């Protein structure tokens, strides 16, 4: 009786998790793009870029280069700026997590 309801809830939860991951990733990439002074930083464009990056992320080695290429072409920056924005988009969540962990007193066990 509850199996279709559970399946629907699971699918809804997966969709919600996907959308939240997309939005949070877009915020971090937007911060990285603003740090390198990218001329195109519309949130919609950044969100599509993060979606494209997620699609090609499963390709070993070539996926990183394609992610940098998407950042470079969609946001009108050079290769160096694209790589720095990509690195910042990955480092900012780590720094925030470590900062919160240190604040809560979990710093040493977390590291």
pLDDT single digits (tens) 62-80 = 999 999 999 999 999 999 9
Query: How is residue 39 annotated by DSSP?
Result: S
Q: Which two tokens stand for residue 38?
A: 């990218």
Task: Write out pLDDT tens, residues 18-49.
Answer: 999 999 999 999 999 999 999 999 999 999 99
Backbone angles phi, psi at 70, to 5 degrees: -65, -40
Looking at per-residue confidence, does 108 or 22 come out higher? 22
**Structural domain total, the chain:** 1
Q: What is the pLDDT of residue 12?
A: 83
The domain of 80 spans: 3-110
Q: How far apart are CA 19 and CA 12, in angstroms?
A: 11
Query: Residue 110: what pLDDT?
Result: 57
- 10 Å Cβ neighbour count for 98? 14
- Provide the pLDDT confidence category of residue 59 given band limits of 50, 70 and 90: very high
Report d(CA 31, CA 49) in Å as an integer: 14
């Amino acid at each position: 009786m509850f199996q279709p309801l559970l399946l629907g809830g699971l699918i809804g939860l997966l969709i919600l998790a996907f959308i939240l991951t997309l939005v949070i990733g877009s915020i971090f990439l937007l911060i990285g793009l603003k740090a390198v002074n990218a001329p195109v930083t519309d949130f919609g464009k950044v969100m599509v870029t993060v979606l494209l990056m997620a699609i090609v992320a499963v390709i070993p080695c070539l996926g990183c280069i394609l992610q940098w290429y998407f950042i470079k072409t969609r946001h009108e920056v050079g290769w160096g700026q694209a790589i720095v924005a990509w690195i910042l988009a990955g480092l900012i969540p780590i720094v925030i997590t470590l900062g919160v962990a240190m604040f809560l007193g979990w710093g040493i066990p977390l590291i």
